[in-house]
């Protein structure tokens, strides 16, 4: 998944608009964008939306309320019968929370005749100080679809007045949270999804930020507005030139009998270069451009 668009679970208009956004995935939000009084209605609307989705449409993810709120079970009871593709868990505080949600999903899957393990989990792993420090606990899990991070909730948790400095760069604590996400995703053999960019009207800054994300190892990004989706899809889709180069690296290793090092056009490439090329081709194939 390159682009994951947040849509408030209580807005039928925005849900319908999301379907035409071109996003690879829609995140039906039952958490921050839905007022407490609207949560029951949001659950019902989201359940119906998931249940009535059209074949070939975007992946459907539901962001539930976090495990400390006492609302998670009500969220799952409402939406799991409709078979969402994944559940996004906010304020996930380590691998134990991932396992906790997995156990809940197993019960719902059994109750609704869903294949055991079919529902993926996408944890947001940096929204509290404790969550950032628990980043080292993540490891491979059969349900883990991706890992992502959040800066805004973390700023509230630690009392920071801003997440970025006057140049637009993240301040140190948020750089750390971002790096922890990339490293945790690598340790868990999962995709790393970059966080939202709140100023959706500043396309130039957003594009620059997306370029930094793909440079550092993120494979997709969350969006808060449909206008951000085309930029994400463009930046996180490998270019034809990048695909051609990656194939040349893979072919060179294969032709040489898969040695430790090969030479291509006067430059030396070793096994990490091969792995990077293989990962790029996998991303291009998922985007349908390989």
Has residue 33 got a pLDDT over 80?
A: yes
| 3-235 belongs to CATH 3.20.20.60 | yes
Tell me the whole-structure pTM to 2 decimals. 0.91
Q: CATH 3.20.20.60 in the chain: give the residue spans.
A: 3-235
Of 91, 20, 95, give the one whose Cα is nearest residue 54.
20
Has residue 168 got a pLDDT over 80?
A: yes
Per-residue model confidence (pLDDT) at position 280: 86
Radius of gyration, alpha carbons of the chain: 20
Model confidence band, residue 266 (pLDDT cutoffs 50, 70, 90): confident
* Strand extents, DSSP E, 137-249: 146-148, 191-194, 220-223
Q: Which residues contact 208 (CB under 8 A, 6 or more apart)?
A: none
Distance of CA 138 to the CA centre of its chain: 15
């Amino acid at each position: 998944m390159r682009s994951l668009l947040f849509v408030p679970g209580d807005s039928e208009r925005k849900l319908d608009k999301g379907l035409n956004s071109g996003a690879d995935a829609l995140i039906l939000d039952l958490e921050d964008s839905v007022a407490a009084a609207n949560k029951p209605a949001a659950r019902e609307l989201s359940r119906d939306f998931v249940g009535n989705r059209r074949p070939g449409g975007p992946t459907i993810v539901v962001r539930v309320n976090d495990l400390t709120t006492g609302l998670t079970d009500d969220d799952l009871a409402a939406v799991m019968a409709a078979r969402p593709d994944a559940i996004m868990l906010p304020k996930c505080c380590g691998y134990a929370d991932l396992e906790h949600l997995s156990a809940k999903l197993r019960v719902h899957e059994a109750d609704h005749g869903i294949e055991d393990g079919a529902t993926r989990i996408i944890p947001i792993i940096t929204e509290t100080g404790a969550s950032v420090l628990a980043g080292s606990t993540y490891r491979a899990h059969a349900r883990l679809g991706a890992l992502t991070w959040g800066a805004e909730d973390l700023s509230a948790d630690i009392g920071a007045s801003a997440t970025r400095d006057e140049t637009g760069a993240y301040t140190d604590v948020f750089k750390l949270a971002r790096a922890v996400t990339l490293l945790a995703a690598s340790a868990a053999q999962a995709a790393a999804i970059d966080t939202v960019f709140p100023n959706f009207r500043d396309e130039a800054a957003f594009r620059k930020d997306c370029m930094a994300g793909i440079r550092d190892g993120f494979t997709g990004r969350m969006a808060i507005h449909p206008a951000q989706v085309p930029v994400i899809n463009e930046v996180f889709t490998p270019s034809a030139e990048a695909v051609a180069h990656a194939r040349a690296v893979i072919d060179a290793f294969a032709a040489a009998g898969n040695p430790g090092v090969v030479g291509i056009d006067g430059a030396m490439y070793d096994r990490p270069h091969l792995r990077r090329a293989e990962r790029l081709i996998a991303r291009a194939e998922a985007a349908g451009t390989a």
